[in-house]
């Protein structure tokens, strides 16, 4: 089916006048009449009753007119979406993120991205850093926000933010009366932490940090979401080490303490594939750099 003939048919159907339809399409009348005639021959239908005084749609013309509008609209949508995909203005961005980034960093990025590219759709998946690296390498997600280094996964990581670590305690815990504490002071405490089977890299990072201060980090209760971890802390089951980004979650029976040790930090990273070519993903990484002003260093 020739789209130019459909456009001619629609113009005449709406103008009910061949000359006006030709002017509307910026073409001469004879070629327009020929296109309509060819469409009638192609369909085997008479679309217009015309004489020297008037042009009216036949019953077949009235039936096919809305269908022609739909076809032309679908083609216009296809062209627009193809253009958006080519430019990185549309498509679906598949984003993985660690639970701790869902309180501040990930919503901030998503809000800015949606404001700039409203035609983009999103698939959001909460997953550990280790799960993100595997998902990126296999093509299941396009970008990740996590904390583990990316060695051996064909993924590069850019520092988005360096967060201070906090100690979360219940309101009845002896530490709750203070504003801060040190890692060494937690030596005899019961820890609640993130599931080491799902995020072994996070567990290794915290274990190494605490070992540097002669403290064994070995949570007796582990969970996969910080809301669960902090709920258990608020109920007096133990204390937790958390990145500062989760402090917006504030149950009434919970307190966050600053950690005085200079090395009590955690890096939040943007993960992307080293061989990524998608304009959509490229624009998203550029936006992240603009929003969070990541460090120049690329981690491998």
pLDDT digits (tens, 9 = 90+) for 2-60: 889 999 999 999 999 999 999 999 999 999 999 999 999 999 999 999 877 789 999 99
Q: Is the pLDDT of residue 111 over 90?
A: yes
Domain formed by 3-87, architecture: Orthogonal Bundle (1.10)
Domain formed by 160-266, architecture: 3-Layer(aba) Sandwich (3.40)
CA dihedral (160, 164, 165, 166) positive or negative = negative
Measured between alpha carbons, how far is 217 from 266 in angstroms, rounded to an integer?
16
Q: Is the pLDDT of residue 293 over 70?
A: no
Confidence (pLDDT) at 255: 96
Confidence (pLDDT) at 299: 41
Structure tokens at 136: 């990126």
Confidence (pLDDT) at 248: 87
Confidence (pLDDT) at 295: 46
Q: Is the pLDDT of residue 300 over 50?
A: no
Q: Which of 116, 235, 228 is nearest to 171 (CA)?
A: 235
Query: What are the residue boundaries of the structural domains of the chain, listed by start?
Result: 3-87, 95-157+274-299, 160-266
At residue 181, φ and ψ (nearest 5 deg) are -155, 180
Buried b (16+ CB within 10 A) or exposed e, 215-250: bebebebbbeebebbbbbbbeeebbbbbbbbbbebe
The 3-class SS string of 30-70 reads HHHHHHHHHHHHHHCCCCEEECCCCEEECHHHHHHHHHHHH
Segment 245-288, tens digit of pLDDT: 999 888 889 999 999 999 999 999 999 998 888 888 988 988 98
Measured between alpha carbons, how far is 141 from 76 in angstroms, rounded to an integer?
29
Q: How far is CA 252 from CA 78, 224, 272, in A?
A: 52, 22, 38
At residue 139, φ and ψ (nearest 5 deg) are 85, 15
Contact 39, 8 (CB under 8 A): yes
Measured between alpha carbons, how far is 58 from 63 in angstroms, rounded to an integer?
9
Confidence (pLDDT) at 27: 92
- Helix 3-15 to helix 59-87 angle (10° resolution) is 130
Buried b (16+ CB within 10 A) or exposed e, 62-79: eebbeebeeeeeeeeeee
Number of neighbouring beta carbons within 10 Å of residue 59: 11
Segment 135-194, tens digit of pLDDT: 998 999 999 999 987 666 688 888 888 999 999 999 999 999 999 999 999 999 999 999
Measured between alpha carbons, how far is 22 from 203 in angstroms, rounded to an integer?
72
Q: Which of 14, 76, 11 is nearest to 39 (CA)?
A: 11
Confidence (pLDDT) at 294: 47
Domain 95-157+274-299 and domain 160-266, same fold? Reply is yes
Confidence (pLDDT) at 148: 81
Confidence (pLDDT) at 242: 96
CATH of 95-157+274-299, one of 3.40.190.10, 3.40.50.11440, 3.30.300.30, 3.40.50.620: 3.40.190.10
Q: Is the pLDDT of residue 127 over 90?
A: yes
Measured between alpha carbons, how far is 113 from 84 in angstroms, rounded to an integer?
15
Q: Which residues pair with 239 in a beta bridge?
A: 191
Confidence (pLDDT) at 77: 77
Q: What is the dihedral of CA 248, 249, 255, 261, to 10 degrees?
A: -60
């Amino acid at each position: 089916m020739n789209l130019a003939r459909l456009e001619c048919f629609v113009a005449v159907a709406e103008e009910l006048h061949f000359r006006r339809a030709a002017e509307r399409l910026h073409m001469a009348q004879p070629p327009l009449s020929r296109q309509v005639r060819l469409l009638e021959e192609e369909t085997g239908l008479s679309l217009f009753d015309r004489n020297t005084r008037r042009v009216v749609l036949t019953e077949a013309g009235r039936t096919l007119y809305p269908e022609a509008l739909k076809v032309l609209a679908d083609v216009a949508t296809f062209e627009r979406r193809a253009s958006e995909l080519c430019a990185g203005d549309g498509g679906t961005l598949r984003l993985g993120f660690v639970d701790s980034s869902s309180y501040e960093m990930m919503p901030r990025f998503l809000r800015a991205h949606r404001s700039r590219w409203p035609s983009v759709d999103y698939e959001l998946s909460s997953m550990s850093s280790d799960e993100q690296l595997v998902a990126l390498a296999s093509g299941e997600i396009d970008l990740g926000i996590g904390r583990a280094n990316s060695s051996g996964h064909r993924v590069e990581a850019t520092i988005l933010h360096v967060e201070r670590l906090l100690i979360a305690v219940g309101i009845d815990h002896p530490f709750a009366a203070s504003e801060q504490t040190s890692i060494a002071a937690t030596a005899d405490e019961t820890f609640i932490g993130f599931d080491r089977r799902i995020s072994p890299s996070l567990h290794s990072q915290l274990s190494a940090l605490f070992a540097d201060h002669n403290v064994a980090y070995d949570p007796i209760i582990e969970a996969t979401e910080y809301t669960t971890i902090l709920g258990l802390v608020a109920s007096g089951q133990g204390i937790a080490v958390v990145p500062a980004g989760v402090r917006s979650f504030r149950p009434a029976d919970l307190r966050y303490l600053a950690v005085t040790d200079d090395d009590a930090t955690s890096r939040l990273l943007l993960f992307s594939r080293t061989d990524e070519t998608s304009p959509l993903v490229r624009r998203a990484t550029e936006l992240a750099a603009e929003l969070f002003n990541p460090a120049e260093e690329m981690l491998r």
